[in-house]
A = this chain, B = another copy of it.
Amino acid sequence: MKNDFSRRAFLKTASIAGLAIAASPTLVFGNPLKPSKVNVALIGTGLRGQNHLHNLLQRDDIEVSAICDVDGEMLGKALKMIREAGHREPATFTGSEYAYRDMLQLPDVQGVVISTPWLWHPIMAVDTMKAGKYAGVEVSAANTIEDCWDMVNASESSGSHCMILENVCYRRDIMAIHNMVKQGIFGELLHCHCGYQHDLREVLFNDGTQAYGGGVEFGEKGYSEARWRTEHYLKRNGDVYPTHGVGPIANMLDINRGNRFVSLTSTATKARGINNYIVEKGGADHPNAGLEWKMGDIVTTTITTANGESIIVLHDTTLPRPYSLGFRVQGTKGLWMKDGNQIYIEGTSDPHRWEPSQPYIDKYDHPLWKTYENLAEGSGHGGMDFFVMNAFVESIKRGIAPPLDVYDAAAWSVITPLSARSIANGSDPQDFPDFTRGRWIKRKPVFGVSSGY
C-alpha cells in the first residue's frame, strides 16, 4: 500500500517536474512524503564517478555530502564540479585506499555511489551495506564467486540494499523491447544474444596523460582505465565485462524473479589483438610488446536458464570493430536483432521478411522514457545514465529494494569467474550458484514495472 501511495504521489510530482524543466536548468524532483534531500556520497571520482556526479548535481532532491578518491587530481575535479554547481561543500576523503571507510562513518549519508576499479567494487559494496547505507555499484560488480556471496550475505545480514548501476538496462531501445517482451509481442522467449563488442584498445592503452590512446602504456604508466583495467587482460581469460549485455536480457527473462541462470559454457579464441596493437603503435621493441596476454580476443559464453532459454554472450574488446552490444531477442512469435536494426513479428511482418525495427521501438517506447525524456537528455550514454541514477535515488527515497538488486549484481557478475573456470577446463559447463537461495521461484519482476523509477 505504501509503495502504491508513494508511486502515485511521485507520479504527480514527476509531472510537475516535467513542467519545471522547461523553466529551470536545475531539475526539480522530490517526494512529498520525504521532503528532505537524499544524502549521497561517492567513492571514486574518476571519469565515471564524475559522470554520476554531474547527473546527481542536476537534481534538486539530492545532496552530495561527501566524496572520496585516492587520486587527488580526480578528487579536485569533482570538488570543482560541486562548487560550480552551487552545492554545499562536501566532506572529502583521500590519502589511503581505505579512506572510504571513514566516509562510511558519516551518519547522514544514505547512499554511496561506487565508481572504482573492478577489484574494489565488491569490498566497497559490502562495507557500504554493513554501514547501513544503499550501495550503488558500477559494473561489473564482482570478480569472484565468493565476492558475489559476500555481497548477498552483507545485504541479507545488514538489511541494506545494493543496486548494480547497469545503465544499458535503461537504454531507450532496450526498454522498448523490454516493453514488447512483457506485452507478449515476441511470444514465449527462447533465445537471446548480447555482449560487449567494443574496440577498447585506446582505452586499455594510452600515453599516461590522456584517457584515450596516444601510446601503449598501461598500469602505473597509464591514465584512467588503462591504470587498472588492462592488467585484467594480461592475467585473466574470461568474460570480464558481461553485464551491459546480460543485464537487459536478464530483465527480459525474469532472472531471479521466476527464472534463473542455471549453467554456462565458455570458449576463448587465441589472443592477437593487443599484441598486434602494441607492436603497431609502440614498435616491436617496446617493453609491452613482449608480454603474453592471457585473455582471448573473443570470449563466447552460452548460458542456460531454468525456464529453458539460452543466451549467447560475447566479449570482444581488443580487435578493430564498430561498437555493438549485439542484442537479439527471440521468442515463439518473432525476433529482434540490433545488428541490422531488424525485426520480424509473425502475423504482422510480411512472411519471411525483415522489417526495420525503429517503428516498433517508437511505438513501444517505455512509459519511463516518455515521462523522463527531457530530464534524461545530456545525462550521458544517450540518456540511460539519468535513469540508472534516478532509480538509485528513488529507491533510497522510498526505502525499497532497487529494481536491479544484489541478486542481480551477483548473478550477472558471477559470469566472469564461471566463464574463466569453464575456459580453463576446456569449456566444461559451470553451474550458477542460486544466490536467491530458492526464492527466485516466488520473487516477482519489478524492472520497468513502475513508471517512477
Counting chain B CB atoms within 10 Å of each CB, which of A307, A309, A316, A320 scores highest?
A320
Contact with B along A297-331 (1 / 0, CB 8 A): 11010101001111010001001111100000011
Cα(A428)–Cα(B270), bound, Å: 21
Are B267 and A265 in contact, CB atoms less than 8 angstroms apart?
A: yes
Q: Is A207 at the interface (CB under 8 A from chain B)?
A: no
Cα(A272)–Cα(B334), bound, Å: 13
Q: Is A426 at the interface (CB under 8 A from chain B)?
A: yes
Are B308 and A270 in contact, CB atoms less than 8 angstroms apart?
A: yes
Q: A267-B310, A309-B269 are in contact. Are A276 and B332 (CB under 8 A)?
A: yes
Cα(A235)–Cα(B427), bound, Å: 27
Are B322 and A354 in contact, CB atoms less than 8 angstroms apart?
A: yes
* Residues of B with C-beta under 8 A to A354: 322
Are B353 and A322 in contact, CB atoms less than 8 angstroms apart?
A: yes
Contact with B along A242-277 (1 / 0, CB 8 A): 000000000000000000000101011110110010
* Residues of B with C-beta under 8 A to A309: 269-270
Are A323 and B302 in contact, CB atoms less than 8 angstroms apart?
A: no
How many residues of chain A have a CB within 8 Å of chain B? 51
Residue of B nearest to A346 (CB): B320
* Residues of B with C-beta under 8 A to A158: none
User: Oligomeric state, in number of copies?
Assistant: 2
Q: Is A342 at the interface (CB under 8 A from chain B)?
A: yes
Q: A190-B298, A270-B308, A428-B429 are in contact. Are A333 and B353 (CB under 8 A)?
A: no
How far does the Cβ of A63 sit from chain B's closest Cβ, in whole Å? 39
Are A310 and B265 in contact, CB atoms less than 8 angstroms apart?
A: no
Are B310 and A298 in contact, CB atoms less than 8 angstroms apart?
A: yes
Q: A188-B272, A269-B191, A297-B191 are in contact. Are A321 and B330 (CB under 8 A)?
A: yes
Counting chain B CB atoms within 10 Å of each CB, which of A199, A304, A332, A337 scores highest?
A332
Q: Is A344 at the interface (CB under 8 A from chain B)?
A: yes
Residue contacts A-B, CB under 8 angstroms, 5 given? A267-B304, A272-B332, A297-B332, A320-B334, A322-B352
Which residues of A does B touch, CB under 8 Å?
187-188, 190-191, 199, 263, 265, 267-270, 272-273, 276, 296-298, 300, 302, 304, 307-310, 312, 316, 319-323, 330-335, 337, 339-342, 344, 346, 352-354, 426-429
11 further interface pairs, Cβ-Cβ under 8 Å (given A188-B272, A263-B427):
A187-B276, A190-B269, A298-B330, A319-B332, A320-B333, A321-B344, A322-B344, A339-B342, A340-B340, A340-B341, A340-B342
